Structures are given as C-alpha cells and as structure tokens.
Structure 1
C-alpha cells in the first residue's frame, strides 16, 4: 500500500483508508472489517464523536486493542451531545473541544489521537478560539496533528491563513468536482493535504452504480439531472474493465490530484471493503483515462460559502 504524507507532518497515510461511520453497532462485525482493512495495508481509520453518539468510537477502541501501533486514528469534534440521547448542537468553543477530546480518548481507549478534526464549521465561528484549543491539545500531547472537515471555501480559506492544519476532509468524487474549482490547488500550494470522503458518490460510481443511481438520484445529484446521472453511471461501467474495477476507477480519479493524501471510503460489509481494496490490484490511471472521466462529468461551482 502506497502512503502519502499528511501536509508537512510526520504522518503518512495509506492512499485508501477506512471511514468508520457505516460499520454498524455489531462489535464482531465491525472488528472483522477493521482487521481485514488493516491486514490489507490500510493504516488510517476515520471516525467522529457524533457517530452513533459515541458508540462508533467505543467499537473502534475495542477493535484496535493490540494493534494501536499499526494505524493512524482520526476523529472529530464540535458537536455537543449527550450519549444515549438524540439531538446535538454545534459548539466549536475551546472549552467544548478540550472536554470532547478527553471523552474521545476514553472511548477509543488510547492516550493520543493522530489527527483531530473540527467536524464542520462556519465563517461565524470563534475561529481563533478553536485554533487555540487545537494548538494547546497538540502541545499537551493529546493529539499529534489537527485539521478540519469542511467543504465551505470561506471556512477553508480562514483556516489556511490562520492555523497550522495539516489536512482538510471534504467530499470529492468524479460527480462532485467542486473542490477542483480552486480549493485543491490552494491546499496544495500551502502544503495541506486533502482527505477525500464520499469517493464513490453514494455508490453511484461503484460496480452497482446504475442500480444505486436509480434509487438515490431520483431528484438528481448536485447539478446533474436524474437522466444525466444514469447515463454517466452506465458509461462509468464501460470505462471500468478487468484492469480496474468501477470503484478502483473512482478512487484513482481522486488520487490523481497531488493535494489528495487519501480517499476515505465507508464499508458496512466485507464485500464492500473488498470492492474498494480492488484498487490495490488495478493499473494506475492514465492521463488519457483521466481526461475521459473529466469529459464524461462536469465541473461544478460552489454557490454558497464563498
């Protein structure tokens, strides 16, 4: 498994990594997926304190016992909630973040978090205060590095200018090319890495893409109409072949940009994990194929949060 440096840090993440939100609440099932991912060379697991209101972190904490040194662990904070209760509220305050990290450490059964991320954010947040919290946690040794999880250009630009983030997690796939508008190049120029989530566009770029599109794109997807999504999903299968699966094609497209350190995919089953692991056996994306994908899809512009 190839690894890429996260920003200018000492953290090197596998090119494909496991997003843990979809693991479910069966501990044995979740552990089987995590173990197989780690055995295949994946070294980054991504979670958040809000996933299943803390239970996801607890499940991961149990699953990685005895393997902590084999992996990099990322989690997120900023959502105020009480475990066992529904509902949450946004809270990027310094006091909340410094409390939340201790709760996450306890649930994850670890002494440190490799990558601690702000789980969202708006331009109206107390950004300087939030940055101060992350910087103090780093100095205290509770986290190794920090980043943000955001698709909002105005928020991203603020953190690029004011903080020492090493990464930005954002949705990026061949159907959602909004980051290509300029954000990817901005981050590359500032030596900040991208963790690309949603690489398969809800499954519409997987081997079952056309069936998924019929279910999930009835009202269209971003700037695409339903018919456009169906056409793309059908042609996507034609671009895939025995040299690379549909999922491998999707992952390879994202990893083509030098700002991207890793693609973070979700998996709720071993079968889904295996489909993404097919990337490891696929041929690299050629310049010609990359251009074919760009011709098949279209660039999209952010309409808000400029």
Structure 2
C-alpha cells in the first residue's frame, strides 16, 4: 500500500489507517484484524484514551508489540472520564495532558507515541498552554509529533498559526464537504496533513446506501435528498466499483489528505478497505461530477 508523508514529520503513513475503536475488547479477534491490516501494508493505527476506558490502548499496544518499530501509533487525550464512568469532561490543561500521556504509554506498552493528538478543542481553551504541553512532551521524548482532532475552523486556524502540529483529524466525505472551502486549503498551504474519518458517512456511501440512512437525514441533507443523491452517485460513479471505493478515493484525491482512517471489525473489512485504497484514482472529471451531484456544505459555527 502506498504511503504519504505526514505534514512536516518524518512519518510516512499508509493511505488507509485502522481506526482502532472498532476492534472491541476481544483480544484474539482484535489481533486477527490487526494482523490482516499489517498484511495489507497498513502501518497507521489510531486509538484514544477515551475508547473503552483505556482498554482499547491496551489491546492496540499488545497487538502491535512485535512490530512496534514498523508502525505509527496515534492516540488522543483531553477527555476525562468521570469517576462514575458514565460521562466525560473536557480538560486540555497542560497538567492533564502531561499526566494522560504517561497513562497512555503504560497502556500501549511503549516508550514513545508517534502522533499524540488533542481529542477536540474549543476557542475558549488556553491554546498556548496546550501547545506548551505538547512541545515539552516532544522535548522529553515521550512523543514524536502532535496534532489535533477537530472540525472547528476557528480552532484549526489557531493551531495552524501558533503550533507545530503535523496533522488534523477531521470528518470528510462526499456528503460532508465542509472542510473543502477553508480548512483543507489552509492546512495544505501550511504543510499540515489531514487524516480523515467518517469517509463512508455512517455507511451511506457503501452499497447499503439508504439502509444506513436516518429518516432525519444527514447534516444538511433531508432523507428525500439522500434518496435522490445516493443512487445517482452509485449510477454515475460506481457501476464497476463499490461506492465505498469511490468514497475513499474521493478523500485521497485531495493533496492535503495523508490517510483515510477506517474502522474494521473483521479481516474481510480490512481487505475491502485496502482494495479501495489500491484501486484507480478518480479522474478530474469524476471529481467534478461528484461535486455537481453533492452539496458544497460549509461550517456555520465555530468561525
């Protein structure tokens, strides 16, 4: 599988990354999925301390322990579970980030984290303090690089201007084109990579299409609009390939995108995602056609 450079870092990540939240808590089953990913050339594994109260990090660390030097492990911090573990609070403070990383390192059973990400962020945060925490962790050798996971244009802009982030994880798909107008060009101009999630839009951009759609619609699409748009995308672009392939190739077509993070709970899903990444790129005409069928949605909040 092809790899792309992550921002200004020396990390090269596979065009498909494994979103580890979908691995579950069954270690043998998770090991099978991770091994299938490694066989397909996937080297980028994304987790977070929030997933399964930290158990996900333990599973990922265990599954990758024998190939640690050959993979890129990304995790996230900033959300604190309450004592009752029925909700979490947001804490981007320096003290918390520097404590959270130690716990993640322990659970992952590793000496360093390749990419440490702030798991959210608001414009009301003390952004300078959060940046200071990440910079110190780099100097101390606990992390190699850092990034953020955010869809807020105002937060992304602040980090692009003030920090040394190498990546931003954000939702992007043919049905969610909100980052295209401002976030993707800004990040590309600043040599900051995008790692995408939500690429198949909750399964709607797969051959199951409307089966996965809610009667309430999706973002600014009503159900009636989805019933029109999804079959049209299938008819015009996915007659000889799956709609999921088209969805993944649409994201990979943007020069700012380094990797498409996709969840998988079986080895077969891993193989399907790898096939999609290795399939033919979309032509400029196909991209234009997609844009003519779908909405150029934009962020109304967090400006």
Q: Does 1:301 align with 2:294?
A: no
What is aligned with 2:227? 230
1:266 shift after superposition: 1.0
Q: 1:277 to 1:83 in 2, by over 3 A?
A: farther
Moved more, 135-144 or 278-287: 278-287
Between the aligned partners of 1:70 and 1:93, the Cα distance in structure 2 is 32
Contact 1:245 1:282 in 2 (8 A): no
What is aligned with 2:270? 273
- The root-mean-square deviation of aligned C-alpha atoms, in Å, is 1.3
Q: Structure 2 matches for 1:83-122, cutoff 5 A?
A: 85-122=85-122
Between the aligned partners of 1:103 and 1:230, the Cα distance in structure 2 is 46
TM-score by length of 2: 0.96
Between the aligned partners of 2:38 and 2:28, the Cα distance in structure 1 is 15
What is aligned with 1:209? 209
1:93 shift after superposition: 0.4
Q: 1:280 to 1:167 in 2, by over 3 A?
A: closer
Between the aligned partners of 1:227 and 1:103, the Cα distance in structure 2 is 47
Between the aligned partners of 1:219 and 1:194, the Cα distance in structure 2 is 29
What is aligned with 1:42? 42
Between the aligned partners of 1:197 and 1:57, the Cα distance in structure 2 is 19
Secondary structure of the structure 1 residue equivalent to 2:129: helix
1:291 shift after superposition: 1.0
Q: How many residues align?
A: 302
Q: 1:16 to 1:83 in 2, by over 3 A?
A: farther
1:65 shift after superposition: 1.6
Contact 1:169 1:195 in 2 (8 A): yes
1:285 to 282, 285, 290: 282
Between the aligned partners of 1:277 and 1:285, the Cα distance in structure 2 is 16
TM-score by length of 1: 0.96
> Structure 1 residue runs of 4+, over 4 Å off?
none
1:81 shift after superposition: 2.1
Between the aligned partners of 1:208 and 1:287, the Cα distance in structure 2 is 26
What is aligned with 2:248? 251
Between the aligned partners of 1:84 and 1:66, the Cα distance in structure 2 is 35
Between the aligned partners of 1:90 and 1:31, the Cα distance in structure 2 is 31
Secondary structure of the structure 2 residue equivalent to 1:67: helix
Between the aligned partners of 1:7 and 1:81, the Cα distance in structure 2 is 31
Between the aligned partners of 2:203 and 2:270, the Cα distance in structure 1 is 12
What is aligned with 2:238? 240
Contact 1:53 1:82 in 2 (8 A): no
Deviations 1:35-80 (A, max 9, x none): 1011101110001000111011111111112011221000000011
Between the aligned partners of 2:87 and 2:166, the Cα distance in structure 1 is 30
1:82 shift after superposition: 5.8
Between the aligned partners of 2:244 and 2:84, the Cα distance in structure 1 is 36
1:164 shift after superposition: 0.5
Secondary structure of the structure 1 residue equivalent to 2:173: coil
Contact 1:245 1:278 in 2 (8 A): no
